[in-house]
Amino acid sequence: MSADIIDGKAFALALRGRIADQVTAFAAAAGRPPGLAVVLVGDDPASAVYVRSKGKAVKEAGMEGFEHRLPATVSQDDLLALVDALNADVNVDGILVQLPLPSHIDERAVTTRIDPDKDVDGFHPVNAGRLATGLEGFVPCTPLGCVMLLRDRLGDLTGLDAVVIGRSNIVGKPMAQLLIRESCTVTVAHSRTKDLSSIVCRADIVVAAVGRPEMIRGEWIKPGATVIDVGINRTEDGLVGDVDFAGAASVAGAITPVPGGVGPMTIAVLLRNTLLSAHRRAQIPYDRDAL
């Protein structure tokens, strides 16, 4: 048996095309394009790469980007003042402060300062609460992208047994909430779970977001299961996921590669969230099915 490869890059490209079409319609109705503000503090190389790729995607979608680069020495008060100004800016629909921040800045203080209705990253506690209680809000981009890939592959997820390996606020916890919303039976496991293999082997859906290279072994995977690998780990052999790809691909029904699986979905969903924010703030209807 050889698993089908879930092409997240192709799915994300198609989603970005639909977003660009709706951006054009929004700009015609609102008299301005949707706006995304990105704040980068310091000169972390990985963060700079992410910010550049997001800026390019924003431009390609026809949105307006507001990029703010601050020195690593910026004070927390000055950073919070910038967030306040972006909250008040009528042309800014989404605010993203690139993490990690320098050690002298309290990330939680910055995250919670962002207006929840402009929090397109979905990290604000208000949006976490909205997700947990079934209210309308913003969902973190990576787990929402994973659900989109699962729906595209499997259709209705009702009743499927899902295991999420990882419990972070950015991926693991919201991923579990989204799968519950899809009427899956969900188990949240992690690096300290006892007898993890016995939990994974019964799952129809495995989402690996634990941050350990190839921790999830191929022999743990249930034949025919769908495997979503969120991990991106740099090793001597190059980039690998949290799943032993070769081993898992020999038994799974479908699996995301690393790279080219989940990664491209994150930026596409960020654009989607920004577009939704623009429509909600301008009270302009949008085609929910296309997004």
Of the residues 54, 118, 173, 222, only one is catalytic, namely 54
Per the annotation, the verdict on 152 as an active-site residue is: no
Per the annotation, the verdict on 54 as an active-site residue is: yes
Of the residues 22, 93, 119, 121, only one is catalytic, namely 121
For residue 188, give the 3-state DSSP assignment. strand
- Give the integer Cα–Cα distance in Å for 7 and 13: 10
Say which residues have a Cβ less than 8 Å from residue 228's Cβ, sequence separation at least 6.
6, 146, 149, 150, 205, 206, 207, 208, 255, 256, 261, 262
Per the annotation, the verdict on 121 as an active-site residue is: yes
Of the residues 22, 93, 98, 222, only one is catalytic, namely 98
| Phi and psi torsions of 264, nearest 5° | -60, -25
Does the N-terminal peptide bond of residue 259 adopt cis geometry, omega within 30 degrees of 0?
yes
Longest dimension (CA), the chain: 57
- Give the integer Cα–Cα distance in Å for 68 and 119: 16
* Residues known to be catalytic: 54, 98, 121
